Amino acid sequence: MIQRINSDLVAGALGVVVCAVFWFNRGTLSPLSGAFPDAVLVVMLAVSGALLVKGVISADICPAFPDGNAGRVMAMIAGLGLWWLGIRYVGFLVTSTTMFFVIALSLAAAVETLSLRRALFFAAVAIVIVGGFYLVFTQILYIRPFRTPLP
C-alpha cells in the first residue's frame, strides 16, 4: 500500500512544532545575543506558515517515500535521535563523526557496491567536516561543547 501525504502541510506543521520547542526553551539571553536565534526562529516560523498556507490552498499530495523505503527513513530518524542523545554522553566529535560516517555509508550502499577504499574516503571526509565544525565553534565562536568523558 502506498501512503500518500500532503508534504507541504506535514513539513509546515513540523516546522511550527520545532519553532515552538526552540522558542519556549530559549532560556535567558541578553538582547544582543538573543537577536540571532530569535531572528532564525521567526524566519523559520514564517517559512513554515507559508508551507501550511500552500498545503491548504494548493495541496500537493504525493507518495510518502517515492524513491526510498520507509524502513531506511525510520532507521535514519532513530539514528539521528541516538546521535542527539549520544552527544551529551560520548561527546560531539566521536558521536558526530560516527553518525556522519554511517549516513554516508548507508546512502552509498543504496546505489553502489561499497569497497574498503570508498569507506576510508567516507571516514576521512567525516573527520574533516566534523573536525572543521568543531574548530569553528570552539576556536572562532568560543562555544564550548557539553562536558563529557570524551571530546
Structure confidence by residue, pLDDT tens digits, 75-98: 888 999 999 888 888 888 899 999
- Quote the pLDDT of residue 64: 65
- Quote the pLDDT of residue 34: 64
Residue 37: name the closest of 27, 51, 49 by CA.
27
pTM over 0.85: no
- Quote the pLDDT of residue 95: 92
Distances (CA, A) of 17 to 13, 40, 49, 59, 125: 6, 15, 11, 20, 33
Q: 42-78 pLDDT, tens per residue? A: 999 999 999 999 988 987 777 766 666 778 888 888 9
Q: How many CA atoms lie within 13 A of 143 on its CB side?
A: 8
Other residues' Cβ atoms within 10 Å of the Cβ of residue 20: 13
Q: 118-147 pLDDT, tens per residue? A: 999 999 999 999 999 888 888 887 777 666
